[in-house]
Structure 1
Amino acid sequence: MSLSEQERWARVQARLRAIVGEDNFKNWFGAMEHDAISENVVRLSLPTRFLKSWVQSHYADKLLACWKAELPSVRRIDLVHRSAVLRNTIAKVKTTDPVELARDVKSRAPERGEPRGAQPPAQAAHEALGGSPLDPRLAFDTFVVGRSNTLAHAAAKQVALARRGEPVLFNPLYIHSGVGLGKTHLLQSIAWAGNGIADRKVLYLTAEKFMYGFVAALKAQTALAFKEALRGIDVLVIDDLQFLQGKSTQVEFCHTLNALIDAGRQVVIAADRPPSDLESLDDRVRSRLAGGLVVEMGSLEEELRLEILKSRVAAARAHHAGFDVPAPVLAFIARTITHNGRDLDGALNRLLASNKLTGLPITMDMAERAVRDLIRPQEPKRVKIEDIQRIVARQYNVSRADLLSSRRTANVVRPRQIAMYLAKTLTLRSLPEIGRRFGGRDHTTVLHAVRKIENLVGNDSALAEELEVLKRLLQE
């Protein structure tokens, strides 16, 4: 950069500081760098996508006006995320099609050096906001609806297709289920559909990405920009919330959640358990999550598994014209592979590989050999002591900490004894091991609890029924 360009940039900064004030200038423009001027286009760079997105959304006109005051020939300003890749490729990509700074983020071009047209507009807009990668296969069109996921699908679609300014019906929307049952599919579908609507910003983040973004912003001293950029989103979608760790990160998530909900913005969250069971999260966060619409996606019923298989075969046939799976084979797979949708995908992938690599038609014998290890016997679920403590605590309206404490009030002692009894009858743990898991108690205490509940069950039909309910909950 020539001396005159440096001086001009310094004068632009002085004008900007006078307009926005010293504090705003430090927060939003302190880390901005002037890279180059080419064909009346000024290229400026910022260290994070969040900071770039915020400046672009809130200070576009002011920044352009300051440059025009110093250099009237400037027509556009190009903001980029500062990275090693972009430093080498941005000139070629941007000078051929510079983007006006004031234009909405959805219309911006991809920033990663891909060929033009490599990304759909919705994905380009999403990545410009700094979101986690989206899989183009995970859209509403490819989601198969059944009894176990009807409510979750309907709620997700309502959120995705809502317009800016419309009342928010359920906030937050919290979807939970076991692995491979479609949570991520629904959340990414919301991002795809939502970013296809004009003037709407939908950001999909995994909990890991949220943590990484917050830590990176702290290191780059742009935490305020990170917070404000997130709070400027219309719909924030967080996946795998159970992995959110770290006190400071959880505090920031709580503040962001409250700010978005209070401002009437939509929040969608998915996890592998209900809010009350996210014991690593603060009570205030769990309470806020439970205050919205909490929807569980149940296990895939056989009819739904069969429909999923049919849709996967149809999708595979688009790329492999000769691929065909006889109806009895599909019915066999749907009947025997019961745990989750990923196992169904794995079964079809094996049949496709066997068919293409050997040239043999798909038969029942081939299917039985290919998916043998995916067929899991319907044996009782292995119960963990932690699960027993969690479910018993929830059933009797006490905390898990109460069960492990030395409290001896009646409302705690009975649930503790029931939990010890279930731990002895449903697990292979020894009495001393169970005692250690219940706050370091002696094995004789556990033995007394077990015998106490055994004696009561024979004479108390209500207690016996409660135990059966707890056992069913633990096996589900």
Structure 2
Amino acid sequence: MGKDDRDASELFARIRARLKAAVGEDVYNSWFARLELEELVDDLAHLSVPTRFLCSWIQSNYAEKILDAFKAEASGIARLHFTVRVNGQARPRLAPPAEASAEPGVEAVPAAARPARETPAPAAARGDALSGSALDPKMTFDSFVAGAPNEIALGVAKQVAHAALNNTVSFNPVYIHSTVGLGKSHLLNAIAWAAGAGDPARNIVYLTADHFMYHFITAVQRQSAIAFKEWLRRVDLLLIDDMQFLQGKSATEFGHTLGTLLTGAKQVVVAGDAPPRDLDMLDERVRSRLSGGLVVPINGFDLELRRAIVTRRAEQASARFAGVHFPPAVIDYIARVVVSHGRDLDGSVNRLVAANQLTQEPITVTLAERTLADLVRSREAKRVRIEDILRIVSRHYKVPRNDLLSSRRSRDVVRPRQIAMYLAKSLTARSLPEIGRRFGGRDHTTVLHSVRKVEQLMKDDGDLAQEIELLKRMLEE
């Protein structure tokens, strides 16, 4: 460890002590224990945390307190930047290692992150001032479990990767959307791995939205925005994940980059949690460009796909751990009761493997019921109120709450009102007459008509079904 590293470590230890004294040990352990100082560059402190939720919470609630602690110990620090650690590493970093520096006074713009067949080379190890986000070597087409809800998205992703291997462009841009945990990131990683397999010189960049913003903000701060733009415009395949988190000038810059890449026939693949039309942080032209490409939804997993995912994960666990065996009844139980998303299915298998390895207890339905109780209970314990539904629907569709309860019959009010009634019937224990009374004194037959209407529309319109699934998730979280 060099002197600068020791000085930074000692500085951050003093800052941690100040934070603990300011907020108390319980709050500190809850929110700051996993906060790490990555680097100090000029007047900027780069901090990292392991999850996006933690990053958002600290930025929203404690950024000013952290900055005050820095100023008290190092008066030269005037700004903070937070990033999420990927595979244990905060990437990208502001300052490349000194041994990889370019000529004095020259801003180096390295090649894009190129997937290798084994594990991705760390950007910092290459001295990259700019690089793609870390790719997960486990997220390949071979490890992706296909089923009816995601088979179209998988087919499109494979076609994009095949076209990139042959230096051609298929659908452009491609926009994949779904709620959390249904495989968007997996498909983007798989495209990058597959497209980079044949030619390591091909410029393939996978970026999460927060890393895109980080690159752009850093480039502006370091007066290298032109170099950043040129770096992006030289890529052959650009993959942007978590589009919904793109904000401010970074969203504008993405729009310019998208237009340039499409004009140059470069392949762009984007993933987000809502259809392009609902990405309010993008201007209308960018939303139109995304909508004009191929928009592919991934629907909520059905029982068959959940069972297939659990079966695959169970087989992988059995191959890795001696004595691990998942009876069919346990696989069926997990697929039936863990209905949130794919990550919870993976986590359920991991929990049971851990329980088996630690206690030597066979994997049975009884063990599963005990080990996974919180995943099941968390869904049952959440009590959705009609007031919550009115608030979420009003905000999502930008319709005043009073209009939802009024007698207005314009289409922009009727459809959200019908969806709100459908959600009330689906997510609450209220009877049809009770729901009707809460929606402006309507008759129960009106509520029933709305419920049936929305059910039919969901069958006919995959985008609407996905949109309503998103609303359900928002209400249940």
TM-score band, normalised by shorter chain: 0.5 to 0.7
Inter-partner Cα distance in structure 2 for 1:163 and 1:422: 41
Q: Does 1:238 align with 2:235?
A: no
> Are 2:92 and 1:87 equivalent residues in the alignment?
no
Q: Secondary structure at the match of 1:205?
A: strand
Residue 87 (structure 1) shift:
2.6
Tell me if the contact between 2:113 and 2:203 (Cα under 8 Å) persists in the aligned partners: no
In the TM superposition, what whole-angstrom CA distance separates every residue of 1:282-330 from its partner, at most 9, and x where no partner exists? Answer: 1111111100111111111222212211221222234322221112111
Whole-angstrom CA distance in 1 between matches of 2:149 and 2:423:
28
SS in 2 for 1:338: coil
Deviations 1:242-270 (A, max 9, x none): 00011x21111100001001110010011
Structure 2: segments with no counterpart, 5+ residues:
1-91, 102-109, 426-436, 460-464, 473-477
Q: How far off is 1:195 after superposition?
A: 1.8
Out of 298-307 and 157-166, give the one that drifted further. Answer: 157-166
Whole-angstrom CA distance in 1 between matches of 2:293 and 2:215:
26
Instruction: Verify: 1:214 aligned to 2:233, yes or no.
Output: no
Sort the Cα spacing of 1:384 and 1:230 in 2 relative to 1 into closer, same or farther, 3 A. Answer: farther
SS state at 1:185 partner: helix
TM-score, normalised via structure 2 length? 0.62
2:13 aligned partner: none
> 1:225 maps to which residue?
227
Q: Deviations along 1:100-142, whole A, 9 cap, x unmatched?
A: xxxx95899x9xxxxxxxx756723988660111111111110
1:361: Cα distance to partner? 1.4
Determine the structure 2 residue equivalent to 1:41.
none
Q: 1:335-371 CA deviation, whole Å, 9 max, x = no partner?
A: 2212211111121111111111111211221111111
Distance between the aligned counterparts of 2:318 and 2:444, measured in 1? 62
CA-to-partner distance for each residue in 1:4-40, whole Å, 9 max, x for gaps?
Answer: xxxxxxxxxxxxxxxxxxxxxxxxxxxxxxxxxxxxx
| Structure 2 SS opposite 1:236 | strand
**Would you say the 8 A contact 1:106–1:122 is kept in 2?**
no
Distance in 2 between the 1:328 and 1:425 partners? 33
| Counterpart amino acid of residue 98 in structure 2 | R
Establish whether residue 123 from structure 1 lines up as the match of residue 120 from structure 2: yes
Question: Does 2:205 correspond to 1:203?
Answer: yes
Secondary structure in structure 2 of the residue aligned to 1:317: helix
Q: CA deviation at 1:384?
A: 3.5
Distance 2:338 2:223 in 1: 50
What is the match of residue 312 of structure 2?
Answer: 311
Match of residue 157 from structure 1: 158
Instruction: Write the distance in 2 (CA, Å) between the matches of 1:338 and 1:464.
Output: 22
Contact 1:179 1:272 in 2 (8 A): yes
Larger Rg: 1
* Alignment match, 1:432: none
What is the alpha-carbon distance in structure 2 between the residues aligned to residue 203 and residue 342 of structure 1?
Answer: 25
Partner in structure 2 of residue 360 of structure 1: 361
Structure 1 residue 450 corresponds to structure 2 residue 440: yes
Conserved in 2, the CA contact under 8 Å of 1:107 and 1:125?
A: no
| In structure 2, C-alpha distance between the alignment counterparts of 1:325 and 1:212, rounded to whole Å | 43
Give yes or no for contact 1:172–1:267 (8 Å, CA) kept in 2.
yes
CA distance in 2, matches of 1:237, 1:415: 34
Q: Which moved more, 1:298-307 or 1:288-297?
A: 298-307
Which residue matches 2:79? none
Match of 1:184 in 2: 185
Counterpart for residue 334 of structure 1: 335
CA RMSD, Structure 1 to Structure 2 (Å): 4.1
Distance 1:276 1:386 in 2: 21
Match of 1:75 in 2: none
Q: Deviations over 1:155-200 (max 9, x none)?
A: 1111112246754221111101111111111111111112222142
Relative to 1, partners in 2 of residues 1:411 and 1:280: Cα closer, same or farther, differing over 3 Å? farther
Counterpart contact for 1:231–1:259, Cα < 8 Å:
yes
What is residue 372 of structure 2 aligned with on the other side? 371
Q: Which amino acid aligns with 1:285?
A: V
Identity among equivalent pairs (%): 42
Query: Aligned runs of 1:50-69 on 2, under 5 Å?
Result: none
Shift of 1:235: 0.7
**Structure-2 residue corresponding to 1:291:** 292
CA offsets 1:46-89 (integer angstroms, 9 cap, x no match): xxxxxxxxxxxxxxxxxxxxxxxxxxxxxxxxxxx99767236x
**Amino acid across the alignment from 1:268:** V
Q: CA 1:124–1:195 in 2, change beyond 3 Å: closer, same or farther? A: farther
Tell me how far apart the structure 2 counterparts of residues 206 and 107 of structure 1 sit (CA, whole Å).
Answer: 13
- The offset of 1:465, in angstroms, is 6.4
Do 1:417 and 1:449's aligned partners in 2 also have CA atoms closer than 8 Å?
no
Q: Which of 388, 396, 408 is the aligned partner of 2:393?
A: 388
Contact 2:276/2:291 (CA < 8 Å) preserved in 1? yes
Paired residues of 1:313 and 1:325 also in contact (CA < 8 A): yes
TM (norm. structure 1) is: 0.62
- Paired with 1:342 and 1:147, the residues of 2 have a C-alpha distance of 18
Contact 1:148 1:300 in 2 (8 A): yes
Judge conservation of contact 1:203–1:236 (CA < 8 Å) in 2. yes
Amino acid at match of 1:200: R
Answer yes or no: is 1:135 the counterpart of 2:132. Answer: no
Q: For residues 469 and 343 of structure 1, do their structure 2 counterparts lie closer, same or farther at Cα, with a shift above 3 Å needed?
A: same
Q: What are the residue-to-residue correspondences of 1:239-254 with 2, within 5 Å?
A: 239-246=241-248, 248-254=249-255
Stretches of structure 1 that go unaligned for 5 or more consecutive residues are 1-80, 92-103, 111-118, 394-399, 429-446
Partner of 2:52: none
1:279 alignment partner AA:
D
SS of the equivalent of 1:141 reads coil
Distance 1:221 1:191, change over 3 A: same
